[in-house]
Amino acid sequence: MDINNFMSTKEYAKTLDQEDPLVSYREEFYLNPGMIYMDGNSLGLLSKRAEKSLMKSLEDWKKYGIDGWTEGAEPWFYFSERLGELSAPLVGALEDEVIMGGSTTANLHQLAATFFEPRAGRNKVLADELTFPSDIYALQSQLRLHGLDPSAHLVQVKSQDGKFLEEDDIIEEMNEEIALIVLPTVLYRSGQILDMERLTKEAHARGIMIGFDACHSVGAIPHLFDNWEVDFAFWCNYKHLNGGPGCVAGLYVNRKHFARKPGLAGWFGSRKDKQFAMEHTFTQANSAGAFQIGTPHILSMAPLLGSLEMFAEAGIEQVRKKSLRLTQYLMDLIQSELTGYGFEIGSPRHESKRGGHIILEHPEAARICKALKQEAIIPDYREPNMIRLAPVALYTSFQEVYETVQVLKKIMDGRLYENYENKRGIIA
């Protein structure tokens, strides 16, 4: 059935599920009966394969002790590289250009310390005013380490409407004073996809290094970092990739930069055959592995192995195709069922600009989210008035999308949100 032949009926949703080529992956995840999970862009659900790969690493620890670094189902000494190989197709990179380790912000610190080389007349960093706050904190910190004032040397591109960014506005700020650009691939609130290829081309034409925060895109949309000649990227693995809470992050460095010395060197950035020589001369790996710092968190990486195996099977193109169908269906239902209730869709309508989640704006958003949770639907709230809904391709059904909108209608008809304070919780 064509999604363009939309009907706002449960039977239509069931038909879409029956025709879904990825429907079998739903059985791979632990889904709570009676609950609809719409927050996979904050924390993905646990899969049975992720649980299995974690238990294998625990068993290796139990059986081998220290020898687990070189023995067992997945030797820990090479685990970061193995996960990098599995992740490379998701970002359009060569296997040795991707490594797993650290956290999103720690990896940004590493990359900024490596690629930000201020000099007289070119000593500013370009970001945007809609990016995730942690990125801004890290960039401000890096500027201070160079003795620069963030209020003068961190340029943040303005949004014209508080929701989206215009690539033209970003390019206009790419002047001779900018030494480094760090931008999101997908805006965490609105879900807008930036034109990474165009922005990279424009940055390089002006002699500027550029990197991307891909937290809200890896595992949801395809990337072509190598073809676009992106200098570097970093991302978390606990959202669309379902690696678990606090899962280690990912890092991409274009191989043309492999000779560049890491700004923050550590022993796991060593060439493998030299790491345990214990020399005080750093011999860096000739790969993205050079940008590791400390010992990787094995038990935090292990679930990712099982999850990435599913992505390798399903293929990111199929994941993207279903994701677009889910978000289009959600928007169609909102327009069909929720008109007149004060909701506004705050995400791009065009497929090329829309990531894996939808923003629904409403003046009572905070307490509508609380009412949804009371009805066993898990959304996400973002200031000042945004309900984020993320139907995830591998485990969200079209019928669940249908039920979510019906429950929203029930909440609005019965004014059930009035039972709650219009104020976010500690974790929104």
**What pLDDT score does 360 carry?**
97
* Mean pLDDT across 202-218: 98
Nearest-angstrom CA–CA distance, 401 and 215 = 23
Nearest-angstrom CA–CA distance, 264 and 291 = 8
**What pLDDT score does 170 carry?**
98
**pLDDT range class, residue 95, cuts 50, 70, 90:** very high
- Which residues are within 8 A (CB) of 88 and not within 5 positions of it... i.e. 6 or more apart? 94, 95, 97, 98
* Mean pLDDT across 265-293: 96
Under 8 Å between Cβ of 183 and 130: no
pLDDT of 298 over the 60 cut = yes
**pLDDT range class, residue 248, cuts 50, 70, 90:** very high
* Mean pLDDT across 186-211: 98
**What pLDDT score does 422 carry?**
85
pLDDT of 409 over the 90 cut = yes
**pLDDT range class, residue 4, cuts 50, 70, 90:** low
For the chain, the residue count is 428
* Mean pLDDT across 91-115: 98
Which of 1-15, 168-182, 357-371 bottoms out in mean pLDDT, i.e. has the lowest? Answer: 1-15
**What pLDDT score does 3 carry?**
57
Q: Helical H runs in 245-386? A: 298-314, 316-337, 365-374
pLDDT of 172 over the 70 cut = yes
pLDDT of 2 over the 60 cut = no
Does an H or E element contain 405, and which? helix 398-413
* Distance, C-alpha 404 to centroid of its chain: 23
As given in the structure block, the two tokens for residue 51 are 């649980």
**What pLDDT score does 426 carry?**
79
pLDDT of 427 over the 80 cut = no
**What pLDDT score does 73 carry?**
86
Share of the chain above pLDDT 70, in %: 99
- Closest of 129, 229, 233 to residue 188, by C-alpha: 129
Nearest-angstrom CA–CA distance, 339 and 239 = 30
Q: Dihedrals φ, ψ of 29, to 5°?
A: -110, 155
**What pLDDT score does 1 carry?**
45
* Mean pLDDT across 94-103: 98
**pLDDT range class, residue 423, cuts 50, 70, 90:** confident
Under 8 Å between Cβ of 242 and 396: no
pLDDT of 384 over the 80 cut = yes
- Which residues are within 8 A (CB) of 302 and not within 5 positions of it... i.e. 6 or more apart? 53, 54, 56, 57, 58, 74, 79
Q: pLDDT tens across 131-158, in order?
A: 999 999 999 999 999 999 999 999 999 9
Q: pLDDT tens across 300-336, in order?
A: 999 999 999 999 999 999 999 999 999 999 999 999 9
If you average pLDDT over every residue of the chain, what do you get?
96
Does an H or E element contain 227, and which? helix 225-228
* Mean pLDDT across 232-257: 98
Bridge partner list, 211:
182, 232
